[in-house]
Structures are given as C-alpha cells and as structure tokens.
Structure 1
Amino acid sequence: MRHNHNLRLHPPAEISQIALAACLCLASAASMAQEATLDAVTVKETAAGSFKTEQAPSAKFTAPLIDTPKTVQVISEEVLKQTGAASLQDALRSTPGITFGNGEGGNPSGDQPFIRGMDSQSSTFVDGMRDISAGTREIFNIEAVEVIKGADSAYAGRGGAGGSINLVTKKAKNEDFVSGDVGLGSDSYKRATLDLNRKINETTGFRLNAMAHDADVPGRNGPENKRWGIAPTLTFGMGTPTEVTLSWQHLQTDNIPDGGVPYLYTSGAMAGLPGGSRVGPTYGNDRENWYGLTSRDYEKEKSDLFTASVEHRLSGSNKIRNSLRYSKTRQDYVWTQPDDSKGNAIQGYVWRRGNARLADVTTLQNVTEFTGKAQTGSVAHSFAVGLELSREKSDVRSTAIQSGGVCTSVSPPWCTSLNNPNSSDAWDFAWSLPAQATHNRIDTTALYAFDTLQFNAQWLLNAGLRVDHYKINTAGPASTGRNPAPAYDIDRSDTLVNYQLGLVYKPAENGSIYASIGTSSRPGGSSLGNGNEDLTINTDVLADLKPEKTRAIELGTKWELLDKRLALSAALFRNDVRNVRITENGVVHMGGNKLVNGVELGFGGSLLPSLSVFGGYTYMDSEQKDMGGGNIANGLPFANTPKHSFSLWTSYKPMARLTLGLGVYAQSSVNQGYVRSTIDGGIVTKGASGYTRFDAMAAYQIDKNLSLQLNVYNLGDKVYYSGIRSPHYASIAAGRSAVATLKFTY
C-alpha cells in the first residue's frame, strides 16, 4: 500500500494504548506535582545555556573541554530534544564530518558511522564501555552524546582511527519528577516516551525511562520502523561516600528494512564512460520506489545491557569506581539489496538479492577507575587511572539469497521494474542459513592512565597512555560457492600501545591554544564479525596481519566568549593511517596508507540570552597511497569522505513561551569507488552528490507543565543519500515529514 506522503497528521488506532498510558501518567503526575511558577527569565537562561557543555562526560578527560587538547563535541540533551532526534544517526547529524555506511554482504545493517573518513562502527560506547553489536541505537535513555575526533585508542582502546562515540545514559537523581511526550506525525508516525524519577528515601533513587515508536519511512513506499524500550535504574547511597547503581536497558525492534536503491551503472559499464564522469544511484521515476518484498523482508533486533557500578569517594576530589556489565544482543534479518552487479538498472530492471543474517553477541566487561586531583610541588595534577577486562563473543550465520542475476523482463519475485516495483510479489524460494555459525571471541586486558599537569596559569600538559593485550579466536565451517574455503580455527594476540600527548597554552583564562599528537591501533577482527574490517581468513598471510596504526596531529584553539556563554573551537588536523590491509588477487597483505588533512570548526552556546547555536564545519582532504600496484584508487580520495560538511542548529526565543528552531545540514559529494575509462584512460567515479537539508521547529510553553513542539524534517523534501558504502546500492535518506509532540514535565 502506498503511504500518503504529506504533512497531515494521522492519529491511528494503534496509538490509543500509548496515548491512554501517557494520559494516566499525566493525571498521576499532576496529583503529585508541587506548586511552581513559570519564570520567563529562568526559561530563557536555561535554554540558552544548555547547548554548551563545559566538561566531557567521560572521566578520562581530566580537564574541562576548553583545556582539552583534542576535538571533542558533546551533543547535549537539549539539542537532542529540540532537533527531535530519536536514533543515534539523528543525533549525530548535529556534528559535522560524520558520514554513514550501509550493509552489504558480510557487513551487517545498523549504525555505521565514519569519523574523519575512517570506519568507527566498532568504536561506539555506552557509558564508556564498548557496545560492539551491530544494530540501530535509540536515544530514549540518553542524556548526551560524546563525539571524539581523531585517533583515540588511548581513550577507546582498539580501533578509533578516526574517533569514537560515547552514549551517556540517564541516571537516577535525588529528586521527584516525571516527564515525557506523545508525538503524532506524517507517515503514520507515533512515538511516546516516559521519564520517571522517584526519591525512595534520602539516599535511594529510582529512575525509569520507557519508549514506544512506530512509523513509516518518509518518502519511501514500504519500509517502516517499529521498536520499544525500557530502562530502569536504581541507585543506593546517593549523597553518601559510597553509591551503588543497578541498571538495565532493553531495546527491541521489528522493522521492515529499506534496502535502498541501485546504482545506474555496474563497474564494468562505468569503464565505457569517458574519464571525469560520475555515476550515481537511481530510483526510476519515483523516489518512493522500494525494491523489497513484504513477504520476505524483516529486521528484528533485541538487546539487553545489565550494569552494576559502585563508586566510593575517598575525599572531596578523589574517588574509585568499578562498573560491571553483561550485554546480550541478537540481530535477525532478511532484507532486499537491489543488486546491480549484472547491469539490470540501466535496462530498467532490478534484481532482488536477499541478505540474511542471524547474529548473537554477548559481552562481559569490567572497568575499575581511580580519578582525582593531587599536588606535587608547584604542579597540580588531575588524573584518571583504570583497568579494563572484557570478553566479547559472537556467533554469526549469514548468507546471500540468490546473488545477482540477469533480468530480461519483469519476473517475480527476483526481477522487478525499476520504475514500478511490486513489493507484494509472492516469495516462496527455499533457502537456509549455514548450519554452523562462525564463532568469534576477543579477550582484552587494558591498563590506562591520564594526567593533566598544570604548571601555572598559562601552561598545561595533557598526557595519556594505554596498553591493551588483545587476543582473538575466530573459527568457522568450510564454505562453498564463488569463493570456497576450508574450515578454520585461528588465534592471534597483539599488545597494543597507544598514547595521547597535548601541550596547552592559555593566553587568557577563557581561552587556550594547543598542539597534540595521538595514536590508534586496529587489529584484525576488531569488530567481532560485525564489520568489513574483520580479520581476513587466510592462514598463509595471518602472520603479516599486524594492526593498522594511525597517528593524528592536531593544532587548535578553544575560547569561551560572551561571559562564557558561547564556546568556539578551531583545529587543523592530520590523520595518517599506516599498515592498511590491501587485497590483491585475493591475497591480503599490509602496507597501504590513508591520509586525511583537514580543518574542524565548532560552536555551541548562546549568542544572545534568547539566541542559541550548536554545530560546526569540517574540511577533509583525503588521499589513498601505496594501496597496491593495480589499485586504481591510489592518489584518490577514500570512500565516504566528503571534502566539506556543515551542521547548524539554532534556536530563538522571541518571547518567554515561544521557541523557534532552524537546522541546516550540508555535505559535498562522496565517492564509493573508481573505474578507469577504456575510452580515454581517465577516472570514472561512483558515488553520490552533495546536498543541503533544512529542518525547522516551533515549541510553545502552554503552562508550567505542558508544551507543544512541532518539528518539520527535510523541509525542502531534498533527495539525498545517507549511505553509499556498498558497491551495489545506496541508502536513500528520508523525505519531508512533520511531527507534533505534546510534552509534559511535573
């Protein structure tokens, strides 16, 4: 059924239970609410100040952000609320220089961020502990997103060549409140959240966050996203020297996935074009064309994170904290990849290849961290010392269902029309996942230490060192097909040593100038079977698969202006990746080089008491070098790395009760791959064009407890692509949509 893609609101019957529950929460909260008044000045100051973050959430940053010699951007809860973000990809739109990949073959679907041109899929963390599983992340239980840019294995451990992402969850507080929202919108959008905090006694607090979400994908005829989550947290000993926190986060999804749209030309056909040509994706005559099958495609994910932490304060500034986490996730899907490998798209057809995957991931992690301040003579220290222990395991079974074939006519279900696909084609093809899973296990022991040494009011030195002992085992059954391989059981261990060193000069109390250098290491198999950077199974070259190494150099300055209401940052950076894995004629060896030089600008805070801004600009000049004699990409930019990207969210309060917001997100073109022209020997590029997208928001404070917010996304209904990593298809971004949200706070 074709969805009505306009901006009318559609309150369907399915929302009734959610709406009823929200109304009951409102009524209950109203009966318990204390007397309060709406102070217009306070509202403006709170909104204006909430875009600016002074201290990074992670304790590994031992100085305020203004004195941290590295690009770190914290997306605050207020920015998340105003922009109407509901997923990690929504949230990361607020910071520039991040692009996204897409699933293909052995690379699963889900969040695949690229930071400074490098894959950061396995460098995502929740409260400082690695969240290795594939899948789409929600933010209903998130109060901030910490984005670190530049090689950062000293902070994040293995990986981190371009940076890492840390999601900061909500914790119980020593107060009583209840808040939440109910949203309805175009494209059958329905969403409700609840945030309840109760002070059980003077030292015990309980917090519960819950979410239900159900919506079609704007501008697409078929895909939909449906999920729910719950996250209770209980803290004992609040306000005492020893606090104990127990938390659980459960998230479950049941989607119809969007496999995107094919490229118009295959790599072979691209060679017949003149040099300088660009080949892009195609969706036929209508951007709503979806090439999936409702009788086949599904995406089910389930994740549970159980965390127990104990924090003991030794003094006013020194404390020790131990966190233990067990997590378990499952990803189960079949989704259609519109496979162009046989040249069907140029003929007006699409082959519906199926990608199937069943993956279970479990992790057990323990982090012990001692943080505090000390004085040695005239030098002041702010330090963090930690020990991390982890075991991560995955069992993965995946297969392609009927890889690309030739279409000479519409032949359901495999061959459909590029211009008029029929998603209701019957599908009863017999297939099965491999009988045996591929097993991956990573054991890690890591020690780290950070210290900010303050010599005087003008000079600081930030130093960090991390040593990881990393051991991987990967075992799998024999495979058949185009690339048959025998059964294998491979072990490898490495010791990874990484550092961060930065010198800070403060010409004024509200500003700093810095120079820093940092490194990262990415060993084989580091994504636990959840990404393309995994260990290549070839025992003949296993000994040569040493970790990729990255060195990042950064020169920058940070300032707090306008009575410290506005934070500004600027940096020149260079990321140099060495020992890159190269595949030539099916053989893997080391020695490639990826280099990106760039500029990073950031801003966050208030220009006026009623005008707030958040965002930045990133320039990246990337180059692939020494990637093998037959690799056409030598000397060319690497994939998924736009030269220019810009993000801006600004909000303005013309009056105490009214807030207006505008978002501008822009990116230059990105490349997927290259082919040499047989006509003139030039380079033909496959990729996607740049774009500029606008969002808008208006919020009105009805009374001290209720507000109404309207968000319009992709205001101009811009057609652009959110993922181009796969050589066969591109992920098309959502079209225009609108959501009205009633928010309550008591």
Structure 2
Amino acid sequence: MTKTVSFLALSCVGFIATAPAFAEDGPKTPAVDADPQTRDDIVVEGERQRRDSNPKFVASIVDTPRSIIVLPSETIQQTGSATLVDALRTIPGITFGAAEGGNPIGDRPFIRGFDSQGSTYVDGVRDFAAQSREVFAIDQIQVIRGSDTTLGGRGNAGGTINIISKVPQPEDFVAVAGSYGTDDYKRITADVNHRLTDTIAVRVEGVWHDQDIAGRDAIWQKRWGVAPSVTIGLGTPTRLTVGYYHLESQELPDSGIPYLYTIGNAPLGTSLSQPAIGNVTTIAGTTGYVDRSTFYGVKSRDFRDTSVDQATVRVEHDFGGITLRNTSRFTHNDQSYIYTQPDDQQGNVFGTNVANPATAGGLVWRRANTRYGYADSIVNQTDLFGEFATGAIKHSFAAGAELAWEKARRGTFVTRGFTNAAGNELLSTGSTISPRCTPPAIARYYCTSLFTPDANDPWVNYANDTSTTPAAISRNLTVAETQNDANTVGVYGFDSITLAEPLILNIGARYDRFHSRVRPGQPIAATSQIQYERTDELFNWQAGLVFKPTHDTSVYASYATAATPPNSLLGEGQEGNALPTTGGAANAALADSLKPEKTKSYEVGAKAALMGGRLNLGVAVFQTDTQNARVTGPDNVPQFIGKRRIRGVELTATGTILPGWTIFGGYTHLDPVITDGGFTALTAAAVGTQPAKTVQVVSVNTGRQAPQTARDSVSIWTNATLFDRLQIGGGAFYVSRVYGGYSDNRAATQNAAGVVTVTPATKLIERSIPGYWRFDARAGFDITKRVNLSVNVQNLTDKTYFSQAYTAHYATIAPGRSAFATLAVRY
C-alpha cells in the first residue's frame, strides 16, 4: 500500500451563474413564468435569475469576472437537441473527444482545450460517471470557462458544465410534445406540474425516444426516462425537495471511419491522415469509394446498454436574508458494451505490401472494445449563502462543505475458458493473428472490406482465434475486475464584495482532501490483490476585480487555479495521470511519486447588458497554463515537467435583439499549444554481444496544436416571431480542423561497439478531421396559444463531416440531413 500527500494551489471562485433563460416574446408556459421563490431573484438580461438554483453564484453575470455562457431550455428546445452533446454543440469553443482503448463511451466535452468529462455537475453536485445524458429534465446548462477547482473541487482545468434540473413550480401546467421525422425518428416528452396544496407541489418529466441515425447504415438508438420530484414548503422559510431521475438506453454504437495511414505506410514528409472516406486508392492501386453510410461494426456482436438512477434530497431554511441548504444525492450508473473500432494501426486500410493480399490494403480489422461496470457516488453538500453589509461595504457570499464517496468497478467481456500467454481472457476477434487480415481472419469476419462491409455478417465467437468451437461471451471473473474508490472532504467560500459603487472584488477559496485507491484486475492465476492508494490535499483560489463604468456594463480581470490529482476520474475517462494498474516495486514507487497537475488561468474581459438587460454581449481574452503535466521524462520514467499553453479570445451575444427576435451564440479563437510534451523512448535492437538499449528523444507532440481542440469555432442560433404566430429560426455552426494525435518514424540503432544512433524522422503523420460548416433550420406556428407545430431540419446541406478525432484508429462521423416535426401542447 502506498500513500502520499501533495499540496497545491488552484481553481476558481464564486461565480457559477444561474443565468437568464431568455425566451422568444409571446406566451410562455407557467413553468417559465412562475418561480416559487422570487425573494432572491436577481434581474439579469431581462429575466429573473434565481440565486437559489446555485448558491455558489454570488453575483449577477455582468458582475462576475469570468466567461460564462448559460444555455436556456428555450434554445435547447428550438434547436431540437435531445442529448447533452447536441445542446453543447450550440456553444462555441467546445469540442468533443470519445472513447478509445479503455476509456468508456460517454459525454466527453473539451473546454478551452481541456477534457471536462470529469467536470460535469448536476445542480452543483459532481456527476463523475461516464454516460450519455438526456435533456428532457434539464432547465438550463451553465458553462463556466477557465480553471475552476475552487468551484467544484478536483479537475476543472478548462472549465465546468453545470446542469440545472427542472423542479416543482407553484402553478399547475401540463406540457406534452411528440416528434416524428426522417430515419424513423420518434420522440415523446411530457412535463406535468401540479400544486397539491398551498405549500406542496409535484412535478414529473418523462421521455421516450427511438431513432435510426441519418446517413449511417444500421445505427439506432432507443431510450426512456422519468424524473419525478416533490417540494414541500413552497413559499415558506423551510423547504424540502425530493427528486429521482431514471434513464435507460440501448443502442448499436457507431464505429466511425478509420484513418487512412499509419506511420509505416504514410508518404514521406508531413501527411494529414484523415478518415478514409470518398474515393480511396490503396497501396496496390485499387480504387474504391467509401460512402458516409459505411459501417464497420457487427450487428450480432456490438451493443451498448446503460442505465442511470439518481436520488436527491434537498432541505433548506431561510434566516432572513441568509439561507442554509443541505443536499444529499445517491447516483448509480451502469454501462456495458462491445463496439467495433475500425483499426488503422495494422496498416491494413491503405496497405503495407502489395505482394501479400492480406497486406495490400482495402481491409479493416474489426477490433472489439469491451467493457461492463458501474459507478456509484454518495455526496452530501451543505451551503450557507446570502447577503450582509459591513459598514458601506456590501457582501454577497456563499460558504459550504462537501463530503463525497465514489466507487467505480469495471471488467471486460471474455470467452470463458481461454487465456492468452499473460493469463488474461479474450474475445476471439483476431487480435492474436498477424497480419490481422489473413484469409482465415476474413472468413471469420474479424476483418472486412474497406469499401463494402456488411453489418449483417454472421460473426461467431469461438474459444480462441483458431478454434472451431463456438463459445459463449461472458464477463470477467471477479479477480480480473478493476475497482477504484475515492472519498473527498472539501470546504469552500466565495464572496462578491462591493467596495464602492464602481468596484467589485470577487474572491473564493477551496480546500479538498482527496483520497483514492485502485485495485487492478489480476490474471486468473493470481494469488494476491495489488492495491495502490494515495491522499492529495488541494488548496485552490480565485480572485477577480470588476469595474463598472455604468450599471449595465463591466470590465474585469481575474486569476484562477485548478488541480487535477492522480486518479481523478476513477477510470471513468481517459486519464494521463492515473495510478498504476500493474504490480512491481517500480509501480509502487511511482504511486508515491505522483503529483497533482496544476493549471492557472488569466482572463480579462468586458460585458454589457443592453436594452434594459434584454441583450447581453461579452468579450474575454485569456491564457491557461499547465506547467507540470505528467509526461515521460529523459530517464524514461514519469515526471511532472510537461507544459501546455492555451491562449484565446471569446465573443458572445445572447438575448433579444428586437422584440420577438432572439440570438444565442458567439465566436471562440484558441491558440492551443503543447509547449513541452516530454520525451519518447526509442529502442535500439541488440547487436552481437550488445544488449538492446533505450534512448530518449523529444516527444513528437512538443510544439504542436493540442489534440481535440479547434482553433476557431462559431455558433449562432437565432429565432424570430413573425405575425404573432409564426416563428422562423436557424443556426450556423463552424469548427476548424481538429487533431487527434501525431506520430513520426524516428528510429534508434546501435553498432557492434554499442554506439546508438538516432535516425531523424522522414515521415510525420497528423491524424485529424477537417473543419466544417453545418446549418440548421426551424419553422414553428402557434395553432392556438397552447398548441404549436414546428419542423426542424438538422444539417440542412447534408454536409459530410466528422465530430470527434481519436488519437488513432478512426474518427466519428456526424449524422447526415434529418428532419422532424413536433406537435407541442401546453396548458
């Protein structure tokens, strides 16, 4: 057992904004108009902003020295978003990564160049498990950009996402919507609120969703969910809210399109290895066409099943202008899948050797990634917030404490009874065959054609790659499962201090004690359990100064820190600073030597609430620095010497331009650079009596654009109401080129005297996806004041583009053009 205690300074402060939910002019549902607790409302952008929805928000958006975007439910509905990823695509500056290797499938947004999968919150409480979230029970989504550990705890180097749930309201209403469209799109949502007594109200949201994916063969998604809640004490000083959320989903996961080149078969010089789509010519000169609909998975093998259960109890009491709140939440997430990664790493897509049909190109290995597991968390959070004055100085404050227990356990699907040389069980997918795409491998459907794959291939799981005995697919033995446990104790405080009429000081600090432990899965023959654990103590802070030239404008400067300790994601995402998962004295020492990665953010900006607060404009210029990222050092062991620098500018515009005409959008430019990627080990093969030797060279990543991050992105959604009943809307979305990863062909050799020579690179490949523009459109008509018929068209021009760039293997292709009509009734 290994333990270590590390200290660091990081992250952000009181500022998460429950922002203005602007809506198109015209009739609103009671859910929008009504608010059970208006005494703490802050008027921003022409709408009430409830302080009680997130107590850590201690100032209005215009008075908060941070870049904040709030996506309201109206925009989520107008854009036809059904998932969190759909909704976040309307926010500039957010790109997406996805599952690779052991990284589970789920939402993986990148904010300002940093993976924010572990920085997603529901009502201010961390929601760490990998999952694909729905929007049916979401009231709004808050995106706070910049280093942010003071707000939520560990992680948050690029920013946080906070989901605000729908809760009971004081007025009765029913809202039901049904959608039907192309690609067998079917969706029904319901939102019912009923006031039982003067002080008790219940609310129930539900969704049923079923669709194929536009432009993609075989892919389908199904899910259903329900979210009931009850509030006792509406309009009284003491309130109790109990809520439950359940979501189940099944789908055939999408395999995407493989990259064309590996470093072995790439042309000389620098090459963009993009997905092999359109006209493709192999090394043997064979030319074929890869259509956007091409799917390399196998229906008889691939699947993904998930479920989410979440129970929340919130108690709060008002003491005059101060509120005490306690929130307790239990969450259980379950996920299992087998999905195909169309693999380019064996060189079989473009090909490596024309003399052998198995290596002449035009083939794709159907590499199977498998996982099952669950993630549980119990979180208790206490907040005290309100306002007071010390003489002429006004304070809007929040203070609190958090206790959290988290566990994630996972395994893989295997063929029971077969083990490889390491004693590990495997599925029979051709992973032991070399080269991968031999005629026997093709006959077993381990490999398929690049141009004409068939998802209906009758794949059969055998006892091993050469056996003719069919075998059932089962789960790992318990000894082979990996478990991560963590507990957190955190205390925090925020204060927005009005020093004088034009000056506001916004400060905050947080201390966390994060203890984590990993018990790696062991081979079947193992006789003992390996375990590593450590404790990290994190101190983070943020400070910002706001100057207000007028009541509705501000200029600000801020500084914030963030800390990402080892094992921060508990195996629920891609983690470069993970605890070891194998035994040995070196790994025991490594677990002791690890450190939290530290990030600092500097930001200056200006905000304006125009036309009486109906239109909000903002600009921010920022720099985020990581000085001690974990990389391989010159001695071939992990060291905390890596550096990353993200510079950028953000422009935002949200609100009402003219009566009945709203806008939501902005532009983000980033300069994301890996300034020091550490070193890469090259091995010089043994020569005569000279043993193999390892030398270090500067990482190929150094000086290159940070992966999963676009330099430029634009998002604009606008909606106009004409003739009182007709609404016309549309969106334009742009994302520039995104890189997944880099490789070169530097090599090391030695002579008989043991002198090692490093051959400079003659090839460099940049795995990437090209930039794209996407356009959406919407038209709606109020048949009556309570009945609306609308039509959404997504990807209006049927653009072929890719939404996620993987480090290697393949990229995720986005859906083609789709359209659906929605009939919404509210009363």
Calculate the TM-score normalised by the size of structure 2. Answer: 0.82
User: Equivalents in 1 of 2:786, 2:45: separation in Å?
Assistant: 19
**Map of 1:269 onto structure 2:** 265
**Map of 1:427 onto structure 2:** 459
Contact conserved, 1:193 with 1:210, CA < 8 A, in 2? yes
User: 216, 219, 226: which one pairs with 1:223?
Assistant: 219
User: Equivalents in 1 of 2:332, 2:25: separation in Å?
Assistant: 46
1:267 offset after TM fit, Å?
3.2
1:425 offset after TM fit, Å?
1.1
Structure label with greater radius of gyration: 2
**2:591 counterpart SS class:** helix
Q: Indicate how the Cα distance of structure 1 residues 624 and 282 shifts in structure 2: closer, same or farther if over 3 A, else same.
A: same
Identity fraction in percent: 40
**Map of 1:279 onto structure 2:** 273
Q: Deviations over 1:615-646 (max 9, x none)?
A: 11111101112222331111111101111011
User: Equivalents in 2 of 1:624, 1:455: separation in Å?
Assistant: 40
Contact conserved, 1:477 with 1:486, CA < 8 A, in 2? no
**Map of 1:673 onto structure 2:** 741
Amino acid at match of 1:569: G
**Map of 1:240 onto structure 2:** 236
User: Equivalents in 2 of 1:541, 1:61: separation in Å?
Assistant: 39
1:531 offset after TM fit, Å?
1.1
**2:75 counterpart SS class:** helix
Contact conserved, 2:25 with 2:660, CA < 8 A, in 1? no
User: Equivalents in 2 of 1:66, 1:712: separation in Å?
Assistant: 34
User: 317, 322, 328: which one pairs with 1:324?
Assistant: 328
Contact conserved, 1:374 with 1:380, CA < 8 A, in 2? yes
**Map of 1:32 onto structure 2:** none
**Map of 1:452 onto structure 2:** 496
2:206 is the alignment partner of 1:210? yes
User: Equivalents in 1 of 2:345, 2:211: separation in Å?
Assistant: 32
**Map of 2:561 onto structure 1:** 519
**1:324 counterpart SS class:** strand
**1:369 counterpart SS class:** strand
1:600 offset after TM fit, Å?
0.9
User: Equivalents in 2 of 1:571, 1:406: separation in Å?
Assistant: 50
User: Equivalents in 1 of 2:803, 2:611: separation in Å?
Assistant: 36
**Map of 1:564 onto structure 2:** 613
User: 493, 510, 514: which one pairs with 1:466?
Assistant: 510
Contact conserved, 1:187 with 1:215, CA < 8 A, in 2? yes
User: Equivalents in 1 of 2:743, 2:372: separation in Å?
Assistant: 34
**Map of 2:644 onto structure 1:** 594
1:408 offset after TM fit, Å?
4.5
**Map of 2:551 onto structure 1:** 509
In structure 1, runs of 5+ residues without a counterpart are 1-38
2:632 is the alignment partner of 1:610? no
User: Equivalents in 1 of 2:47, 2:456: separation in Å?
Assistant: 49
User: Equivalents in 2 of 1:53, 1:200: separation in Å?
Assistant: 25
Q: Deviations over 1:147-191 (max 9, x none)?
A: 111100010210000011111100001111000200001011000
Q: Indicate how the Cα distance of structure 1 residues 213 and 279 shifts in structure 2: closer, same or farther if over 3 A, else same.
A: same
Q: Indicate how the Cα distance of structure 1 residues 54 and 513 shifts in structure 2: closer, same or farther if over 3 A, else same.
A: farther
User: Equivalents in 1 of 2:347, 2:524: separation in Å?
Assistant: 25
**Map of 1:8 onto structure 2:** none
Contact conserved, 2:610 with 2:616, CA < 8 A, in 1? yes
Amino acid at match of 1:407: C
2:138 is the alignment partner of 1:164? no
**1:704 counterpart SS class:** coil
2:358 is the alignment partner of 1:290? no
User: 574, 588, 603: which one pairs with 2:623?
Assistant: 574
Moved more, 424-433 or 382-391: 424-433
Contact conserved, 1:596 with 1:622, CA < 8 A, in 2? yes
2:553 is the alignment partner of 1:539? no
**Map of 2:773 onto structure 1:** 692
Contact conserved, 1:544 with 1:590, CA < 8 A, in 2? no
User: Equivalents in 2 of 1:733, 1:502: separation in Å?
Assistant: 40
User: Equivalents in 2 of 1:192, 1:365: separation in Å?
Assistant: 32
2:188 is the alignment partner of 1:192? yes
**2:189 counterpart SS class:** strand
User: Equivalents in 1 of 2:714, 2:412: separation in Å?
Assistant: 37
Q: Indicate how the Cα distance of structure 1 residues 355 and 455 shifts in structure 2: closer, same or farther if over 3 A, else same.
A: same
User: 127, 152, 159: which one pairs with 1:131?
Assistant: 127
Q: Deviations over 1:430-485 (max 9, x none)?
A: 4544313111111000000000000122000000000000000111233599xx99
Listed as ranges, the matches of 1:136-147 within 5 Å are 136-147=132-143
1:43 offset after TM fit, Å?
6.6
User: Equivalents in 1 of 2:630, 2:665: separation in Å?
Assistant: 34
Amino acid at match of 2:537: T
Contact conserved, 1:299 with 1:335, CA < 8 A, in 2? yes
**Map of 2:811 onto structure 1:** 730
Q: Deviations over 1:577-615 (max 9, x none)?
A: 121111469743221011100001111001111221101
Calculate the TM-score normalised by the size of structure 1. Answer: 0.91
User: Equivalents in 1 of 2:109, 2:527: separation in Å?
Assistant: 31
Contact conserved, 1:343 with 1:406, CA < 8 A, in 2? no
Contact conserved, 2:741 with 2:807, CA < 8 A, in 1? no
User: Equivalents in 2 of 1:675, 1:366: separation in Å?
Assistant: 45
Q: Compute the RMSD of aligned alpha carbons.
A: 2.2
Listed as ranges, the matches of 1:39-438 within 5 Å are 57-270=53-266, 272-275=267-270, 277-283=271-277, 284-315=289-320, 317-346=321-350, 347-398=361-412, 401=427, 402=429, 406-408=436-438, 410-429=442-461, 430=471, 431-436=473-478, 437-438=481-482
1:403 offset after TM fit, Å?
6.4
Q: Deviations over 1:198-245 (max 9, x none)?
A: 000100000000000000111100111100000000110101110001
**1:563 counterpart SS class:** helix
Contact conserved, 1:50 with 1:78, CA < 8 A, in 2? no
Contact conserved, 2:263 with 2:764, CA < 8 A, in 1? no
User: Equivalents in 1 of 2:65, 2:629: separation in Å?
Assistant: 27
User: Equivalents in 2 of 1:348, 1:486: separation in Å?
Assistant: 46
User: Equivalents in 2 of 1:329, 1:636: separation in Å?
Assistant: 37
Contact conserved, 1:54 with 1:65, CA < 8 A, in 2? no
User: Equivalents in 2 of 1:136, 1:726: separation in Å?
Assistant: 21
Amino acid at match of 1:258: D
Amino acid at match of 1:279: S
User: Equivalents in 1 of 2:268, 2:729: separation in Å?
Assistant: 45
Amino acid at match of 1:310: V
Contact conserved, 2:263 with 2:744, CA < 8 A, in 1? no
User: 611, 622, 639: which one pairs with 2:707?
Assistant: 639
In structure 2, runs of 5+ residues without a counterpart are 1-23, 34-43, 278-288, 351-360, 414-425, 462-470, 581-586, 680-696, 747-759
